[in-house]
Every structure is written in structure tokens, then in C-alpha cells.
Structure 1
Amino acid sequence: MRSKQPTIKEIAKRLNISVSTVSRALHDHSSIGLRTKTQVKQLAKELNYEPNQTAIFFQQRKTFTIGVILPHLAESFFSEAISGIEDVTYKNKYTVLLGQSHDDVEKEKQLVEKMKIHRVDGMLISISKNTATYEHFEMLKKANIPVVFFDRIPKVQDIHYVACNMISGTMQAVKFLLEKGHRVIGLLNGPENLFACKERQEGYVQALIKNRIKFDPSLVVNTDLSPEGNIKATKELLAHKRKVTAIVVFNDYVAMDAMHYAHQQKIKINKDVCFVSYANLPFTHYLKYCPMASVEQYPYKQGQKATEMLLELLDKNEEEAAPTNYKIILDSQLVVYNG
């Protein structure tokens, strides 16, 4: 049994040719004859020779690895995004190094540091719900590791990102409910530090004003996205002095908690109180209670576009000036289930 991995030097010695000739033959260089190429490749196969990837990476100054950090892979939204990411990286012969922050800022920081140490070429990140400072991302910039954010975007300037237009999606959701005759519509929003939550509220306010309905700040309640926080926020909206007849909810997962609580209070779902959500996750169609409609955010496409953007940044020549920032904003679309 061989104790060591065969090397180019061993192949060269056995065939009595130079190391450079072996290297060129293995890479089908035009300067090497067919006979020599065949001999080299045949012996390499017999010896189970495998290229030294570390040496190749060092020579090319690339590891062909992309780091991905997201909150929860268990969520259908991020699973779909990963599918988009992997489809693009596979075609371009890159490997994905995946990490989950589980919405823990300290873990997010640790993942950034570990991926930096592993010398990833670039990173795709969807920030945790609690991320409020961004020094760990600045560290990547200083290390010349390009980053593209997707879905959950930090509130900073000069970043590359792919996101969905939550303002237009929310306006569609509110308009849908207004057309159903609802006039007291609550907004069960997520953490205030998330940029997408700000957009949701902006779309909510714009839709009300556009339809000559006064904005009532007390009808906007935030949740930390935990089951307990979701129920607490739902309880607050349902106990509002003005009788809420419809609620626009942060996403389908939060909507499930909200509808479950409402059902426990003997409230008829989508009759006494109507629910509209975000994400349009496939499993909602199989639930006993589901929102009347949900805003499609195209997670697969977000992952796909973010990866393409990152690869484009990586492919730029060193002397070629990169733009201040790349950004892609996808149009969201309200999908009506029953209405």
C-alpha cells in the first residue's frame, strides 16, 4: 500500500522526462506531443495521481470557494436561495462553504472570521435579525474579499446586494385588502433594524395615504420573529381599541403563529380577520389555515443573481476599477390563494 500521494516528480522520473513536460501534458498543452500526453496520463491514472489543489490555488491566487452565511437553512426561503446559489457555482466550478448564524450576531461574526481564514474568494451574506453593527463585514473589505448581500441587507452605503422590492409588494398587499372592504389594517412587522422591515412599513403607509386613509402608528407592531414574540404582537393587534379586520404579516412563518393564536381566540381565519403575508412558501398551500395571499420574494432568483454578481466581481481584473456598488432589486408580486 502506498503511504504517500504520487507527485508530478515521480511521474517525470519514471518516464525520464522533465517535471514541466508532465505538467503541460496533464493540462493538454499544445507544445506536448500526443504520445507523451498519452504516456503521462496513463501513468498518472495507474498511480492514482491527483493534482495538488493547494499548489494550484496558490499559483492562481484563488481557492474557487465561496462562503455563504444565512440565518436558517431550515427555512424554505433560504433553502430555495441556496439552490439558486449552488446551481450557479456548480456551473462555474466553485465550491460553497455554508454557515448558519441562527440569527446570532456573535456566531455570524465567528463565521465571517472562519471563512476569511479559510481564504474564500468571496462571500454571500443574508444578515441575522439582530445585526446592528457591521465592523465584521468591513474586515472582509479590508481583506479584499468581495461580499454580496441578499434578502436581508445591512443599512450601509456602498455595498453590493440583491433584494426584493418590499415597498411595491406591501402596497399590493394593502391594496388587495382595501379592495375587500377593509379599513382597519394592522401591520405585524419584523425587527426594526432590518432594512426590509422599514420598506414594508413604507409601503404600508404609502398604500394607506394613496387611498386617503390616515396612517395610525399604533396599528404597526413589531416582533422579534420568535414564536413568543409573534403571539405577543398578534395579541396586541387583536386587542387594539379599533377593531382590526385584516393584518399584513412579516412572513409566512410569522403568519402561522398569528393565525394559530387567532384561531385559539375563536376568531374565524380570513373571515373575522383576514391575513396577508410574504414569501409565498410552498407548504402554506397544505395548511388548514393559510393567508389569503402572500408576496412572492423569489428566493431562488435572489440566490442566483447574487452569485452571478459575486462571480462577476471576482472575474474583474485587478487593474479594472470596480463600481461603487452593484445592486439588483427584483419586483415582488402578490400571489392570491383565495380571495
Structure 2
Amino acid sequence: MEKKLPTIKEIAQRLSISISTVSRALHDHPSIGLRTRLAVKKMAAELNYEPNQTAIFFKQRKTFTIGVILPNLREEFFSSAINGIEAIALPNNYIVLIGQSHDDIENEKKILETMKKHRVDGILASISKNTTQFDHFEQMKSYDIPVVFFDRVPDVPDVHSVSCNLYHSSVEAVEFLIGKGHKIIGYMQGPPTLGIKNERLAGYYEALKKHKLPVDESLIVSTDLSTQSTEAALDLLLSKKKKPTAVLVFNDYVALDAIHYARQKKLRIDKDISFVSYANVSVTRYLDYPPIASVEQFPYDQGARATELLFKLLDSKTNRQEFPYENVVLKSELIVH
């Protein structure tokens, strides 16, 4: 037979005192004498008694857990963001529950529903590449579960968010390539759903305009972030009569696929074609052919700042629905390799 866990009632019966006296003694209530408190705690230790956390959480109206929904922990960017989140959460006695959407909105919805059922106190989210509707996040308001978005932030009003400004670093990235002598520069963007604000593209346009270089829309291609889609996008660029000698790419992972494919096509990296990308993941420094520069988006800081904002909402004494929406924007930085 399964052994039952000891209860406050059992402690009370063994000591011939009331349940309320045991409860107060375990919580060091000043109305309970020292001798009784010591006796209760000794008996609790002998019985291996553990407090009913569910009852405690119910009384406190907190579970001391926060949920994090992100595309894929395999990416160094998001694992670094988790480190930033835990750096703030753990010292505040909060546990972090992590769910990966794998860039699928249906997975995202299921994870969010599960976290709601587990009564997490708040949610941190980086949306999937095909998330275009946000009703599932909006519904959290009715359960008084605050949501803070980070990195992949929906371009809609009335959300709390932490992100990185990519416009100025995109201008800088294209100017860096122009400074290297490149005049035909392609741009490989991500899925349209992740480019609503499209600061990368806006910066690309601005840099070309600033240096009086023509904008050729045929040099702007898209990838759904898969290897096959990236290869098809590069094929499209290489099919142009005036082939680009450099490409600004959505992120480092896409750039690595593009570089690998370019080498299969017998192109010499940084001679026939060069790549600049985003994310600045550490693994690129160990490669023979990394992007020549990458935009640092500070995922650790994004995660930490998003968690701080979430705790600000959780600690707020005012109605969370009336709390002014905050959009924290960090400054990105072009790192030359």
C-alpha cells in the first residue's frame, strides 16, 4: 500500500493539541510558547512532514513560477535569454517553466494553455515565426496573468515588451559592407510575420539611399529560416545578372546555411561573396568562414530586463489592467569578426 504523507492533523493528535496550534507553531506565531513550538517542529521532523504547497500557494495567491515560451532552445540566442531570465527569477525564489513552440503557433497555444492551468504567475514570450494573431495571449488578461514579450515582439499596441533596436545597426552593417567596396548588396529577410516592424529592411534601404546606391527590389529575398528555403533564396540572388557581392542576412543561423551552400557552389567566401548577419552567436568565432560581422542583440539582457518588467507587474499594487504599457528598447551593436 502507498504510504500516506503526514499531515498537521497527525502531528496534533500525537501531541494532543489542536490543529490550529500546530499550524501557528510551524509558522512561529508569537501566541505559541517556545516549548510548544519546539515540540511541534520536533514531531514534524520525526514524521518527515512537509507543508502542503498547494494550500500555501492558494492562500498567498501565488505559485512562484513564471512560464517562458520561446521558439527553440537549440539556438544559443534563446538559451542565453533563459540565463538572463533565471538570473533575475531564481534570487526572487521563482521557478522558471520553459516551453518550446518550435516556431509553430499551435504548439505555442498549447503551451500557453498548459501554463495557465498550472497557474503560473506570469508569462514571458518570444512569438513563433507564424504567429499573426495574439488572442491566446490576450486571453491571459482575464486570468490576471501578465505577459511580457521579448525579442520577437508583436507589432500591436497594448503589450509589454523588451526588444532590441535593429534599425541603426542595420544601417551600420550595410555601410560596413559599402566601406569594404561592395556596391551590389542583397538582403535575405526572414518570414514576413517576423518582419512587421522590419527595422532590418528599413536600415538596409536607408544605408543604400544615404550612399546614393540604387535599390534593386529583386535583391531582396525571403527565407522561412529552414535550410532548404535559405538555399533557394541564395539561388535566387545568384541568378541575377548583376550578382550581389555581399548579403545582409536575417540571423547567424541563416547566414551559416547560406555560407555552407555558397561554398558548395564553389564561391569563395569573402572574395566572391561576403555575409553580414544578426545575433552574434559565439559559435561563429570557431568557424573558418563566419559572417564577417554580426549585430549583437544582447539576449541575456533582454531576458533579464523582461523578467524585471514582469516582476514589476506582479508586485504592482494597482490593477494590472490599468498599468501603463512599457516597451523597453535596447541598443544593438555591430560586431566585426
Structure 1: give runs of 5+ residues left out of the alignment: none
Partner in structure 1 of residue 301 of structure 2: 301
TM-score scaled by length of structure 2: 0.95
| Alpha-carbon distance change, 210 to 30 in structure 1, aligned in 2, over 3 angstroms | farther
| Alpha-carbon distance change, 44 to 271 in structure 1, aligned in 2, over 3 angstroms | same
Secondary structure in 2 matching 1:193: helix
**Alpha-carbon distance in 2 for matches of 1:26, 1:153:** 45
**Equivalent residues of 2:141, 2:321 under 8 A apart:** no
Partner in structure 2 of residue 226 of structure 1: 226
Secondary structure in 1 matching 2:294: strand
Deviation of residue 36 (structure 1)? 2.8
Indicate whether 1:78 and 2:100 are aligned. Answer: no
Deviation of residue 157 (structure 1)? 0.7
**Alpha-carbon distance in 1 for matches of 2:322, 2:306:** 16
Deviation of residue 321 (structure 1)? 6.7
The amino acid that maps onto 1:34 is: L
Partner in structure 1 of residue 89 of structure 2: 89
The amino acid that maps onto 2:136 is: H
**Equivalent residues of 1:166, 1:196 under 8 A apart:** no
Deviation of residue 87 (structure 1)? 2.1
**Alpha-carbon distance in 2 for matches of 1:102, 1:260:** 23
| Alpha-carbon distance change, 31 to 183 in structure 1, aligned in 2, over 3 angstroms | farther
Alignment of 1:50-129 (within 5 A): 50-129=50-129
Alignment of 1:249-288 (within 5 A): 249-288=249-288
Secondary structure in 2 matching 1:306: helix
**Alpha-carbon distance in 1 for matches of 2:2, 2:66:** 33
Partner in structure 2 of residue 290 of structure 1: 290
The amino acid that maps onto 1:302 is: Q
**Equivalent residues of 1:313, 1:322 under 8 A apart:** no
Deviation of residue 12 (structure 1)? 2.4
Partner in structure 2 of residue 4 of structure 1: 4
Q: Give CA deviations for 1:60-111 in whole Å, capped at 9, x if unaligned.
A: 1111111111111111111111111122211111122211111111111111
Indicate whether 1:217 and 2:217 are aligned. Answer: yes
Q: Give CA deviations for 1:147-203 in whole Å, capped at 9, x if unaligned.
A: 001111112111001111111221121121111121111111101111477111111
**Alpha-carbon distance in 1 for matches of 2:320, 2:98:** 29
**Alpha-carbon distance in 1 for matches of 2:327, 2:123:** 15
Moved more, 78-87 or 319-328: 319-328
Indicate whether 1:130 and 2:126 are aligned. Answer: no
Partner in structure 1 of residue 248 of structure 2: 248
The amino acid that maps onto 1:83 is: N
Q: Give CA deviations for 1:298-337 in whole Å, capped at 9, x if unaligned.
A: 1111111111111111111245774331121111011111
Structure 2: give runs of 5+ residues left out of the alignment: none
**Alpha-carbon distance in 1 for matches of 2:319, 2:124:** 24
Partner in structure 2 of residue 26 of structure 1: 26
Q: Give CA deviations for 1:225-272 in whole Å, capped at 9, x if unaligned.
A: 011111111111122222311111111110011001111111111121
Secondary structure in 2 matching 1:131: coil
**Alpha-carbon distance in 1 for matches of 2:161, 2:299:** 13
Secondary structure in 2 matching 1:295: strand
Indicate whether 1:310 and 2:310 are aligned. Answer: yes
TM-score scaled by length of structure 1: 0.94
Moved more, 7-16 or 201-210: 7-16
**Alpha-carbon distance in 1 for matches of 2:213, 2:314:** 48
The amino acid that maps onto 2:182 is: H
RMSD: 1.8
**Equivalent residues of 1:68, 1:96 under 8 A apart:** yes
Secondary structure in 1 matching 2:23: helix
**Alpha-carbon distance in 2 for matches of 1:107, 1:155:** 21
Secondary structure in 1 matching 2:154: coil
Alignment of 1:140-155 (within 5 A): 140-155=140-155
**Equivalent residues of 1:248, 1:275 under 8 A apart:** yes
What fraction of aligned residue pairs are identical, expressed as a percent? Answer: 58
Deviation of residue 2 (structure 1)? 7.8
Partner in structure 2 of residue 187 of structure 1: 187
**Alpha-carbon distance in 1 for matches of 2:44, 2:80:** 40
Secondary structure in 1 matching 2:198: helix
Deviation of residue 143 (structure 1)? 2.1
**Equivalent residues of 1:155, 1:195 under 8 A apart:** no
Deviation of residue 208 (structure 1)? 1.8
Partner in structure 1 of residue 199 of structure 2: 199
